[in-house]
Amino acid sequence: MPKTPAELLAYLDAIGISTTTVEHPPLFTVAESQALRGQIAGAHTKNLFLKDKKGRYFLVTVGEEAEVDLKTIHQIIGATGRVSFGKPDALLELLGVQPGAVTAFGVVNDTEGRVTLVLDRQLMQNAIVNCHPLTNEATTSIASGDLLRFAEATGHEPLVLNVTGAMPH
C-alpha cells in the first residue's frame, strides 16, 4: 500500500526534516498551479516519469518553467536509448501516485529502488523546493538540501544533473 500524504509528512518529521504544507484544490498542470499559487515561496517543480529501452524508470524533477528535450535527455540521465513516458499503472505501482500528482516525494513508495531520481542542478540551487506530497491537493515546501536527505533516507541516491542547464534559453 502506498504511503498517504499524512504518512509521508510524518516520515519527513521522523527523520528530522521540517516542511510546510499548504492545501489547495487539485492541480493538474503547471498553469493551474501558477494561477492558484498565492504566496508559496521557493521553486516550483514539474516531474517527468520516464522509462528507457531496458525497462529502467527515471523520475526527473525540474523547475516548472524548465524545457526538457526528450530527444536528448537519455544522454544526460544515463538511460539506454531514447526514453518514453512511463505508463500510469507503473507510476502507481512504483511511486504510489496518479498522473497529475507526480512528485520527487514519490520515491518514498519505491521500496525496491527501481526508480532513479534525477534532480535538475538549476532547480537544486534554490533554497526551497516545492513538491506535491503524494497528492495534487497540497504543496509541500522543503529545503533543497533536505530534499536530498529525504531521497537518501528512502534508499535513493539522487542524481543532480544539468537536465535543463545545457540548453540555450
Within 8 A by CB and 6+ apart from 18, the residues are 12, 143, 146
pLDDT reported for residue 31: 76
Length of the chain: 169
pLDDT reported for residue 28: 72
8-57 tens-digit pLDDT: 999 999 999 999 998 888 877 777 777 666 668 889 999 999 999 999 99
pLDDT reported for residue 129: 97
Grid coordinates belonging to 148: 536530498
Least confident of 6-15, 30-39, 86-95, 145-154: 30-39
Q: What is the pTM of this model?
A: 0.92
- Tell me the average pLDDT of the chain: 92
What are the domain boundaries of the chain?
A: 5-161
Superfamily of domain 5-161: YbaK/aminoacyl-tRNA synthetase-associated domain (3.90.960.10)
CA-closest candidate to residue 58, choices 81, 33, 26, 31: 81
The percent of residues in the chain predicted with pLDDT above 70, rounded, is 94
Determine the average pLDDT of the residues in 51-68: 95
Rounded Cα–Cα distance for residues 107 and 96 (Å):
9
Within 8 A by CB and 6+ apart from 109, the residues are 2, 3, 94, 95, 96, 97, 134
